[in-house]
Structure 1
Amino acid sequence: MIIPSLTLEHSSKTTLPGLREALRALPPMPPALSFADYCALPADQRALYDQARDDFVRLTLRVPTPEQDRSTGILARLIRTNPRRTNSRRGLMISAPLFYGKTELAMLLARSVENDHAKHFPDYADDGHVPVVWVEMTENATGKTLLTQIVRFLAPTAVVARSSNTDALRVEALKLLSVHRTKLLVIDEAHHLRGTEPSSVIKALQNESSATVALVGISLGSGKAFGSGHGMQVTMRCDMVELRKVDVSTKEGMALWTRWVAIFDRNLPLCDHVPGTLTLNAQALHSATHGRLALLAMTIERLVASILDDPNRLDEQVSRDQLFAVLDGLQHTTPLRHRVKLKDLVEAA
């Protein structure tokens, strides 16, 4: 059996090689094996198979969400119409508290833009096109910080002097965005921006570049960066997509949450896996994760890892004990607390 190996060399999405690697890192589900056939593999092949399964869960296994559909439609419209505006171009804001999957959604959007550009320009990379630029803000980042990151993303060998002023950097960033035919500028962790300068810089980018700006961060609409004052100039030019926890008290919410859990359940890359236990415990999973999709995905990832990391396992079936151990551990690595107990979980027959 040939097991493809995924090699990742660039860890940072804030470089062009790193971003393109992240956008393309979608390993397929490995071929299904019985546990007996898995045990019969040589040790090095088992290790490769386990790594391939772990990669699939971490990088590929996802569920569709209403926010994905909405933001994809908004972004497609903005990319189509912004170049036809003479100024006051509109942007997109993706806003949510911690553990709601903001960056994951932004990655999905970036991938869709990159793939669409590749359809129209098959040789785009060789021709120097950079349809997506990704920058990430750190605490108390300034407008100058933002512009510097754009320049370094598009011209990594360029020397940006400490004495460079904001106006000069803005001119250089705008030139590079134009030369490289950038369609989407993602500003991740945008809530770290502070003061009047960043909002003025973003406003200038929207006015002077046809690239659509997507701001991703925590509570952007009501936070310090864009919830008042000069920041409102940016907010009022953006379409807002807010990610919220799923409310299972409604019929629609429960159906959506159960559908997500069932998708994960059906696609677990475990030997002889029989779906059921996860889906039967959809309500408990909602209670443990407070209805947050990113935490549900983290739970699934940790569950699979805990099974694959057990060298003494006799099978790879999901049990309620394994699931509870992961849910209990979740409380120690996230700020969330839950009251789910082992007796609350059920096991598929």
Structure 2
Amino acid sequence: MKITPLVLHHDRKTSLAGLREAFDAEPASPPKITFRQYTDLDSEARELYDQAREDFLRLTLRVKTREQAVCARILEDLIRINPRLKNSRRGLMVSAPMFSGKTELALLLARSVERRHAAQHPDYLRDGDAPVVWVEMTEHSTGKALLAQIVEFLAPTIVLPKQIATDRLRKLAVEALHRHGTKLLVIDEAHKLGGTEPSSVIKALQNESCATVVLVGINLDQAFKTGDGLQVSARCDFVTLDKIDPAVQEDFEQWIKWVATFDSFLPLCGHVHGLLTRNAGTLVHAADGKLAVLAMIVDRLVASILRDESRTSETVTREGLFGVLDTLRRTTLNTHNVTLDDLVDAA
């Protein structure tokens, strides 16, 4: 068994090289082996195998959501239509509470756009195309800062004058988007923009660039509800990622599918599907119905097993799951009242 470790060189998605690395960071599921075969590996091979399993869990294993399909359809239409319009180009707003998976959804959409472009234009890298640009706002970001990030994403060696006028910066950004054939501009943490100046810049980008703008953030209906902000939101389709309500049958059915997906593909030696799925009803309360918290629970569960050097198997137990849930309650803001008695063993 040969494991090739995943090597990452970039910390963030806010550069062209970093974003493309994020697109490509999808390691395949490591080969399935028994726990006996695992213990027969030498220490270096075990370490590589464990790292490959954690990488697969954190970077590749994903669940399907209703919102993914809705957003993908919207984007496909907008990317096709927007270049044929001269103004009032439409965009997409993805709004959600914390830990709802909005940035992960945006990354999946962006990866899809990049790969579709690559299939249509095999030489796109040589031609200098950048189908997707990703920027991320920080506290008190301005429209000018947004434009600077776009320019620096597409031209990382450029040195912008400190006193450059916003109009000049806007022209540079629009020209760069056009020159690199950008189809999708993702503005993450967009709730940190808001206000007249950033909204007027986003509106100008929608008017002057063919790129479809996707705004991702918290309570975007509030951040862009007045003045130019209202003009931006009025041009956008609005998709909300709400947490799961277990009292709503459709919601709870989706939650069970999420848990079952994680349960089926846990990268553990000899893992048998069952315990997580049987406890889906308890997990929805422990995770407060939030997908990102569920993913955190699964990640911590696997990590707790792999880091137990004295283990004699990698079976998921209710005691092990409760230990993770109890730690979650003590080390995060996600409080819950789940007890060991609330969990059941696998059938």
Which of 234, 237, 261 lines up with 1:236 in the alignment? 234
**How many Å apart are 1:123 and its aligned residue?**
1.2
**How many Å apart are 1:96 and its aligned residue?**
0.5
TM-score by length of 2: 0.98
Q: For 2:328 and 2:131, how far apart are their aligned partners in 1? A: 37
Local SS of the residue matching 2:51: helix
Give the corresponding residue for 2:189. Answer: 189
Q: For 2:246 and 2:61, how far apart are their aligned partners in 1? A: 23
Give the corresponding residue for 2:16. Answer: 16
Give the corresponding residue for 1:331. Answer: 329
Which of 257, 272, 276 lines up with 1:259 in the alignment? 257
Give the corresponding residue for 2:107. Answer: 107
Q: For 1:337 and 1:229, how far apart are their aligned partners in 2? A: 38
Q: For 2:165 and 2:40, how far apart are their aligned partners in 1? A: 64
The CA RMSD measured in Å over matched residues stands at 0.9
Local SS of the residue matching 1:275: coil
Q: For 1:93 and 1:177, how far apart are their aligned partners in 2? A: 20
Q: For 2:228 and 2:171, how far apart are their aligned partners in 1? A: 22
Give the corresponding residue for 1:34. Answer: 34
Give the corresponding residue for 2:119. Answer: 119
Q: For 1:227 and 1:195, how far apart are their aligned partners in 2? A: 9
The size of the alignment, in residue pairs, is: 347
**Deviation readout 1:178-224 (Å, 9 max, x if unpaired):** 000000000000011142110000000000000000000011012xx
Does the aligned pair in 2 maintain the 1:188–1:217 contact within 8 Å?
Answer: yes
Name the stretch that deviates more: 314-323 or 46-55. 314-323
Does the aligned pair in 2 maintain the 1:280–1:348 contact within 8 Å?
Answer: yes
Identity rate, percent? 60
Does the aligned pair in 2 maintain the 1:183–1:212 contact within 8 Å?
Answer: yes
Which of 270, 273, 281 lines up with 2:271 in the alignment? 273
Give the corresponding residue for 1:297. Answer: 295
Name the stretch that deviates more: 322-331 or 264-273. 322-331
Local SS of the residue matching 1:9: coil
Local SS of the residue matching 1:126: helix
Does the aligned pair in 2 maintain the 1:303–1:322 contact within 8 Å?
Answer: yes
**How many Å apart are 1:134 and its aligned residue?**
0.3
**How many Å apart are 1:322 and its aligned residue?**
1.2
Give the corresponding residue for 1:310. Answer: 308
**How many Å apart are 1:229 and its aligned residue?**
3.0
Local SS of the residue matching 2:214: strand
Q: For 2:328 and 2:151, how far apart are their aligned partners in 1? A: 39
Does the aligned pair in 1 maintain the 2:141–2:193 contact within 8 Å?
Answer: yes
TM-score by length of 1: 0.98
Q: Structure 2: give runs of 5+ residues left out of the alignment.
A: none
Give the corresponding residue for 2:283. Answer: 285
**How many Å apart are 1:256 and its aligned residue?**
1.3
Local SS of the residue matching 2:186: strand
- Within 5 A, what are the aligned runs for 1:132-151? 132-151=132-151
Letter matched to residue 321 of structure 1: E
Name the stretch that deviates more: 334-343 or 143-152. 334-343
Does the aligned pair in 1 maintain the 2:286–2:325 contact within 8 Å?
Answer: yes
Name the stretch that deviates more: 139-148 or 301-310. 301-310
